[in-house]
Amino acid sequence: EVSITKFPADERKIIAKAHDKYKKARAGIINTRHGQIHTPAFMPVGTKGTVKAMLPESVQTTGADIILGNTYHLMLQPGAKRVFKLGGLHKFMNWSKPLLTDSGGFQVMSLSKLRKITEEGVIFNSHIDGSKFMLSPESSTEIQYLLGSTITMAFDECTPYPSTYEQAKSSMELTSRWAKRSRKAFYSRDGYGQFGIIQGSIYNDLRLKSALDLIELDFEGYAIGGLAVGEGQELMFKVLDYAPDLLPINKPRYLMGVGKPADIIGAVQRGIDMFDCVIPTRSGRNGQAFTKYGVVNIRNSKYKEDNTPLEEDCLCPACKNYTKAYLHYLVKVKEILGAMLMTWHNLMYFQKLMLRIREYIAQGKDFDFIS
């Protein structure tokens, strides 16, 4: 057992795995100002201060310890200063457990129409009304402070895939300079943390340089960025075969934007502790349910008279009180309750997967199951 201080006031126990294939898998607890995070952990995405179609108390019943918010969206509407004046994001959205906010650069690149990357930061036009904004390591870090994030992400540039070695190198070097400025701008408090994000695309020497630059800044945790950007599972795992080992063994490792159950299992086996992905919520709203029998596309007409639940032993309201026929109908007629029940089931499914993974690691058992 290795126990180390993660967030200032806290301890984290890592139970190293004996089994060779799983020796990098670890189960632990991150203690923060807003409560514990059991890892490996899946973080539901609550982009605009809400996990879409869910009440925060419903998210809590699924077993989620922490949810994500987004700097980009919240700075545009309702504005970080306003959220701060109203008591911070925890109070605003009635979520008292840990909150992690992404730093906004990734969202600017994927959402805003016009943008310009300079050494200072990213200048962009809001995708809502076209008004001009700037996000920099300093402003992103300040916005996350105003929101009251438990875990603040450093301001990075997500290197697109594919990128040439030169493109990936200069992008990674910019991220290292921005990480230094982010770290300097961070107001550190007990039980709060800031995570650095390593880049370097698929090039192992760039990944190493990125890790060395960020380890010098002594972040409370580290994220692996620049994956889940179209490289595919095989290449992602190839990077994950070495990248997590470049990071301090005694700090949380967060793989951003991942992923499907099989991606999560493979990444845990390679030493990742934290995940976030829109798949359970977005696909739930689109009528896809994750079950132990595989993904159920509830809109398929074969379910229109299916009087059985998605999963007979699932404790979520969709499975306890309703049938696939009813869910099929709700989603077909675009009733809001359809989005709610499908989302609730998928979030419960992802949290059950994480719980089983944590239990298997703690018992020293293999967890190759594709749940």
Ligand X SMILES: Cc1cccc2c(=O)nc(N)[nH]c12
Task: Please list the active-site residues.
Answer: 102, 276
- In angstroms, the CA 129 to CA 131 distance is 6
Residue 92: which residues within 8 A CB-CB, separation 6 or more? 49, 83, 86
Q: Least Å distance between CB 320 and Zn ion?
A: 8
Site for Zn ion, residues 305 to 334, rule: CB under 5 A: 314, 316, 318-319
Which residue of this chain has its Cβ atom nearest to ligand X in the complex?
Answer: 225
Six-digit token string for 215: 């380890």
How would you classify the pairing of strands 288-291 and 294-297? antiparallel
Main-chain dihedrals φ then ψ at residue 363, nearest 5 degrees: -90, 5
Q: Which is nearer to ligand X, 261 or 338 (CB)?
A: 261
DSSP annotation of 45? B
- In angstroms, the CA 271 to CA 81 distance is 37
Residue 269: which residues within 8 A CB-CB, separation 6 or more? 21, 22, 24, 25, 367
Judged by CB under 6 A, which of 28, 54, 67, 102 binds ligand X?
A: 102
Judged by CB under 6 A, which of 43, 83, 143, 256 binds ligand X?
A: 256
Q: Least Å distance between CB 102 and ligand X?
A: 5
Query: CA 172: distance to chain centroid?
Result: 21
Q: Does residue 226 bind ligand X (CB under 6 A)? A: yes
Q: Which is nearer to Zn ion, 54 or 316 (CB)?
A: 316
Stretch that binds ligand X, among 31-39, 99-107, 210-218, 337-345 (CB under 6 A): 99-107
Six-digit token string for 369: 């199951």
Q: Least Å distance between CB 185 and ligand X?
A: 16
Main-chain dihedrals φ then ψ at residue 297, nearest 5 degrees: -90, 95
Q: Which residues pair with 99 in a beta bridge?
A: 67
Q: Least Å distance between CB 332 and ligand X?
A: 32
Main-chain dihedrals φ then ψ at residue 123, nearest 5 degrees: -100, 130
Contact map string, positions 148 to 177, toward ligand X, x by CB under 6 A:
-----x--x-x-------------------
Least Cα distance to 273 among 250, 239, 246 occurs for: 250
Q: Least Å distance between CB 278 and ligand X?
A: 9
Judged by CB under 6 A, which of 121, 196, 257, 309 binds ligand X?
A: 257
Q: Which does 314 bind (CB under 5 to 8 A by kind): ligand X, Zn ion, none?
A: Zn ion
Q: Which does 83 bind (CB under 5 to 8 A by kind): ligand X, Zn ion, none?
A: none
Six-digit token string for 331: 């989603």
Q: Which residues bind ligand X (CB under 6 A)?
A: 102-103, 105-106, 153, 156, 158, 197, 225-226, 228-229, 256-257
Q: Which residues bind Zn ion (CB under 5 A)?
A: 314, 316, 318-319, 345
